[in-house]
Amino acid sequence: MDILEQLGTTDVTVAPEALAPLFKALAHPNRLTILLSLRDTERCVGDLEEALGLRQAYVSQQLTVLREAGLVCYRKDGWNVYYRIARPEVYTLLEMATLIHGGLGACALIAPEEITPSTCCNSD
């Protein structure tokens, strides 16, 4: 049973063009790290800078990408800007990506020209 069946639907009605910006926002290791850092609590940019060992301007740039994708939101408190997750469903997506990545196994390491049913993937 695939994930759509588990969720009770097999209909994906969102156009690929509409989904692409979301996946683009998720396609950077530091943005994924920021999302994971925000999983349980909101954090200010300075806290993220310190925790991740990245420059403040760089963290802010990555947070802007995540905000524009609708994944994080923020609030200002004096000089500090605090970010939190706007769409906790993103963690389900990341968990699914982890399962897919783990399921690739040796198949992901084989050059395309070397793939045969006996060397990779289930031929059923």
What are the domain boundaries of the chain?
A: 3-87, 88-124
Q: Which fold has domain 3-87?
A: Arc Repressor Mutant, subunit A (1.10.10)
Q: Is 80 helix (H, G, I), strand (E, B) or coil?
A: strand
- Residue in the block written with tokens 């990245």: 54
Its pTM stands at 0.74
b/e map 27-55, b = 16+ CB within 10 Å: eeeebbebbebbeeeebbbebbbeeeebe
Dump pLDDT digits (tens) for 49-107: 999 999 999 999 999 999 999 999 999 999 999 999 999 999 999 998 888 777 666 66
> Which is nearest to 7 in space by CA: 114, 92, 117, 70?
92
Identity (one letter) of the amino acid at 96? M
Q: Residues with Cβ < 8 Å from 105, sequence gap 6 or more?
A: none
Both tokens of 96, joined, read 């699914």
